[in-house]
Amino acid sequence: MAVMTPRDPFGRAALRTVLTVVAVALTLYVIYLLRGPLSWIVIAAFIAVAMSGPVNLLQRRMRRGLAIALAYLGLLLVPVILGWLLIPSLVGQVEDLADNIPQYAQDVTDFVQDNQTLKDLNDKYDFTSEIESAADDLPSRIGDAAGVLQDIGVGVVNSIFAAVTILILSIFMVAGGPRWREMFVGSLPADRASRVDRALRDVGSAVGNYFAGALVQATLAGVTAFVVLTILGAPFAGPLALIVAFFDLIPVIGATIAAVVIAVVLLFVNFPTALIIWVIWAIVYQQIENYVIQPQIQKRAVQVEPFVVIVSVLFGASLFGILGAILAIPAAAALQISWREWRDYRRATLTRPIDGPAGLDADAPA
């Protein structure tokens, strides 16, 4: 006679819980180890979605392979043209700055002596002597920067390798994206396939619209910077405005980087008035852009409320740095679209009439 052993549902539930926790922990650990390549894949995916729009437009007049090649060639030409326009002039300006720093330090001293308030502060703290001493010691300290420049060079090489890898991945994604989507949607049940396909297309449109909105925002920043720089009498106002527009595509810190680069140039133009005006304008404009211009543009581009735009950028930047700030808005739009489709699917499922037994009408009397 077989002996019945009592079941232990609590023990099995505890075992399943432990195994689930271990599996989740291992998965998170693997993701942490692969965070570098995974971040490259995510960036490549968003670039591929953004480039799908230009590729599809070009594909109307040529083969898809040639359309992809032309679209990415245009993308690569942007930093090349910017470098060709800007690097020679910036190198010359930096060389002039290094040669004339002692004279600029003397100009600061004269400016302080002509202002009674600053003169009183200088008599008390003697900060002009520190400025002149630092200016005199600068040439002897240039050699100390060799180690720093070496580290920067290694970082540049790594960044170039990452950029090339990301571009290659995105090219493969653009080339195979339509086929992959069809295969994925085709593997789903018929009642879900249409909704998933619509959600994927809407997410793709939202990501493309986000990058289009970012280009509008960058163009606006470049135009306003050009106007301000022209008023200040800055040399190379056009190329410098292109710097502002290019770096403005990087959320959170891009505008700050551009402002610092241009501030170096303005050391040679009506110092210190032009520099002070530029710094004030850059700070004020960045705040207006972060909390007014960007939310309003992205609201129309991806149909996400300005409050959600600001919060998503802040959260993304805090969690994942520059990458999080760049991908925060399209990620929020993708989540919003996915939630909407899932909600509509659940509503349709809950309101669907229940069929009766086979061969009988569900509404027929028993």
Question: Given a cut of 60, is residue 193 above it in pLDDT?
Answer: yes
Residue type, 234: A
Question: Given a cut of 50, is residue 359 above it in pLDDT?
Answer: no
Number of independent structural domains in the chain? 2
Contacts of 214 (CB under 8 A, 6+ apart): 249
Residues 166 and 245 in one domain: no
Are 135 and 104 in contact by the 8 Å Cβ rule? The answer is: yes
Listed range (117-121, 218-222, 288-292, 318-322) with the worst mean pLDDT: 117-121
Residues 100 and 62 in one domain: yes
What mean pLDDT comes out for the span 245-256?
83
> Can you give the residue range of the structural domain that contains 79?
36-138+157-187
Q: Is residue 11 part of a domain?
A: no
Are 356 and 364 in contact by the 8 Å Cβ rule? The answer is: yes
- Rounded Cα distance between 254 and 244, Å, is 8
Query: Phi and psi dihedrals of 316, rounded to 5?
Result: -60, -40
Query: Does pTM surpass 0.75?
Result: no
Q: Is residue 21 part of a domain?
A: no
- Rounded Cα distance between 97 and 266, Å, is 10
* Count of residues in the chain: 366
Higher pLDDT, 223 or 310: 223
Are 312 and 329 in contact by the 8 Å Cβ rule? The answer is: yes
pLDDT at 52: 86
pLDDT at 278: 92
Q: Is residue 23 part of a domain?
A: no
- Rounded Cα distance between 98 and 260, Å, is 17
